[in-house]
Amino acid sequence: MVTKQNKAIDFSDSLIAFKGQSDKELKRAAFLFRLMNYQWLVNISTTLGLWALKLRLPFVKKIMGATIVKQFIGGLSLSNCAPTITKLQSANVLTILDYGAEGKGTEADFIKTKEENIAAVHFAKVNDTIPIITAKISGFGSHELLETFQKGVPLSAKLQMEYNALLEKIDTICLAAYKDEVSVFIDAEESWIQTAIDHIATLMMQRYNKEKITVYNTFQMYRKDRYAYLEEAYEDAKKGNYLLGAKLVRGAYMEKERNRAQKMGYPSPIQDSKAATDTDFNKALKFCFDQYEKIGFCNATHNEQSCQLLAALISEHQVLKNHPHLLFCQLYGMSDNITFNLSNAGYNAAKYVPYGPIEDVFPYLVRRAQENTAVSGEISREYRMILKEITRRNC
C-alpha cells in the first residue's frame, strides 16, 4: 500500500506539470474543467453539440475548436499534431497516436481507418518520440460481425467476407508497424465484442511478437474475469513462444455494461465496487511487473495510487526506470501532474494523443466529459490541480 511516507514520486508539483502551458492555456483549461463538473451541463452540451454538428453550424465548430478540442485533441489531422508532439517531446513525454474516429459503419469508413492507421505508423517511424499507435477493432468491421463471431455461431457468407477483410486490415497495420519498428495498442471495447477482439489481438501477437513486442492487447480490470484472463494470456504467450504486450486499464464502458446486463437479464461482468476494480488493477500491475522481461506493459491510468505503486516497484527492485517494457500513459489534456512529473523523474511517460476532424472525434470528447463527470471525479482533481498552478503563478 502506498502511504504518504513511502511515495515514490511527487505528483503535486504543479510547476513541472504545467510548465509547457501559458497563462492563457491554463485559464482555458480551468474554465473547461469547472464546467465539466456539472453533469447537467455536460448532458445539455452533448445534445446541442451533436445537433449543431449535424446541421453543420460553423460557429459551433469554431467554439469547440477553441475550447474542448484544443484541450483534449492533438490536432485535426495527423500532420496537424506536429506542434503538440514537439511540445510533449520538449518535456520528454512520448506520443501515442490515436486516430479518433469512432462508431463508423461502412466498408469505406473501415478502409479509411486502416489507411489513417498505416499513415500513423509511417509518421511514427520517422519520429523517435512516437513509439506506438492505437487501433480499434470496431474501426475495421461491424458490431454485428464481432458479436456474431463472439457467439461462436457460423458466419454467413457476407459476414465471413467481412471478417476476412477485417483481418486483412489489422494484419496490414501490424505488419507495417513490425517493419517500421513501431508498436500497436489494440484498444479494449464492450464485453459483448471483446472476446472477438481478444481472439484477433492474440493472432496478431502470435505473428508479430516473436522477438520484440509489436502488438499489445488491452485488459480492462473493471471486469471480474480479466485478472484470470491476463494470467491465461501470459501462459498462452509462453507456450506459443511469443511476448505478451499488455495495456492495463480500468475500463471505460461501465454504465453501458451494467445497463445492458440488467436489461438483458444476465449477471453484470463488472466488479461490484470501485475498490474491487482497484484491487485487480493493482494486482495486474504487480503481475506484469514480476515478469517484465516477458511482458511489455502500459500502466494506462489517471489513478495516482496505481502510478505510485508501479514507480515504487521499479525503485524497490532497482529496475531501469526507462526500461522499454515499462510505460505509463495518460490521455492528452488530462492528469498532466502525473505525466510530466513521471517524465521529469526519468520514467517512460506518454500521452494518448487523439486526432481527427471535429465530427469524428466528437464521440471521444463526449466519452471523456461524461465518463469523468459521472464516475470518477477526475475532472475535479484536474480542476484543483490547475487552480493550484494559477494561484502559484498569481495569473
Ligand X SMILES: Cc1cc2nc3c(=O)[nH]c(=O)nc-3n(C[C@H](O)[C@H](O)[C@H](O)COP(=O)(O)OP(=O)(O)OC[C@H]3O[C@@H](n4cnc5c(N)ncnc54)[C@H](O)[C@@H]3O)c2cc1C
Stretch that binds ligand X, among 117-125, 235-243, 268-276, 337-345 (CB under 6 A): 268-276
Taking CB under 6 A as the criterion, the residue among 14, 142, 183, 303 binding ligand X is: 303
Cβ proximity of 343 and 315 under 8 Å: no
**Which of 89, 215, 192, 95 shows the shortest CA–CA distance to 143?**
192
Q: What is the DSSP string of 81-105?
A: GHHHHHHHHHTT-EEEEEE---S--
Cβ proximity of 114 and 135 under 8 Å: no
CA separation for the pair 229, 292 (Å, rounded)? 17
Q: Does residue number 250 form part of the binding site for ligand X (CB under 6 A)?
A: yes
124/254 with CB nearer ligand X = 254
Taking CB under 6 A as the criterion, the residue among 191, 194, 301, 341 binding ligand X is: 301
CA separation for the pair 308, 304 (Å, rounded)? 6
Taking CB under 6 A as the criterion, the residue among 113, 218, 282, 339 binding ligand X is: 218
Q: Does residue number 274 form part of the binding site for ligand X (CB under 6 A)?
A: yes
Q: How far is the CB of 109 from ligand X (least distance, A)?
A: 19
**Which of 147, 134, 125 shows the shortest CA–CA distance to 100?**
134
CA separation for the pair 306, 311 (Å, rounded)? 9
Strands 215-220 and 183-186: parallel
Q: Does residue number 300 form part of the binding site for ligand X (CB under 6 A)?
A: yes
136/169 with CB nearer ligand X = 136
Q: Does residue number 222 form part of the binding site for ligand X (CB under 6 A)?
A: yes
Taking CB under 6 A as the criterion, the residue among 252, 311, 313, 366 binding ligand X is: 252
Between vectors from CA 144 to CA 141 and to CA 149, what angle results, nearest 5°? 85
**Which of 137, 244, 150 shows the shortest CA–CA distance to 193?**
150
Contacts (CB under 6 A) with ligand X, residues 324-343: 329-331
Taking CB under 6 A as the criterion, the residue among 102, 116, 187, 360 binding ligand X is: 187
137/159 with CB nearer ligand X = 137
AA identity, residue 312:
A
CA separation for the pair 218, 186 (Å, rounded)? 6
28/136 with CB nearer ligand X = 136
Q: Does residue number 251 form part of the binding site for ligand X (CB under 6 A)?
A: yes
Taking CB under 6 A as the criterion, the residue among 172, 195, 315, 376 binding ligand X is: 376
Q: How far is the CB of 371 from ligand X (least distance, A)?
A: 6
Q: How far is the CB of 24 from ligand X (least distance, A)?
A: 26
Beta-carbon contacts of 52 under 8 Å, excluding residues fewer than 6 positions away, are 60
Contacts with ligand X: how many residues (CB under 6 A)? 28
Joined grid coordinates for residue 163: 471478417
Taking CB under 6 A as the criterion, the residue among 32, 200, 233, 254 binding ligand X is: 254
In sequence order, which ranges of the chain are alpha helices (DSSP H)?
A: 14-17, 23-35, 39-54, 58-66, 68-72, 82-90, 107-125, 143-151, 157-180, 191-208, 226-239, 254-264, 274-290, 304-316, 336-344, 358-371, 378-393
Stretch that binds ligand X, among 85-93, 100-108, 273-281, 383-391 (CB under 6 A): 273-281
Q: How far is the CB of 187 from ligand X (least distance, A)?
A: 3
Taking CB under 6 A as the criterion, the residue among 271, 337, 341, 348 binding ligand X is: 271
| Cβ contacts of 287-291, under 8 Å, gap ≥ 24 | 287/227, 287/230, 287/231, 287/234, 288/230, 288/246, 288/248, 289/313, 289/314, 289/317, 289/326, 291/234
Q: How far is the CB of 296 from ligand X (least distance, A)?
A: 15
Helix (H, G, I), strand (E, B) or coil at 302: coil
218/348 with CB nearer ligand X = 218
Q: Which residues pair with 298 in a beta bridge?
A: 247, 327
Q: How far is the CB of 72 from ligand X (least distance, A)?
A: 12
Stretch that binds ligand X, among 31-39, 99-107, 231-239, 373-381 (CB under 6 A): 373-381
Q: Does residue number 375 form part of the binding site for ligand X (CB under 6 A)?
A: yes
Q: How far is the CB of 308 from ligand X (least distance, A)?
A: 12
128/272 with CB nearer ligand X = 272
Q: Does residue number 226 form part of the binding site for ligand X (CB under 6 A)?
A: no
Provide the binding-site residues for ligand X, judged by CB under 6 A. Answer: 187-188, 218, 220, 222, 249-254, 270-271, 273-274, 277, 300-303, 329-331, 352, 371, 375-376, 378
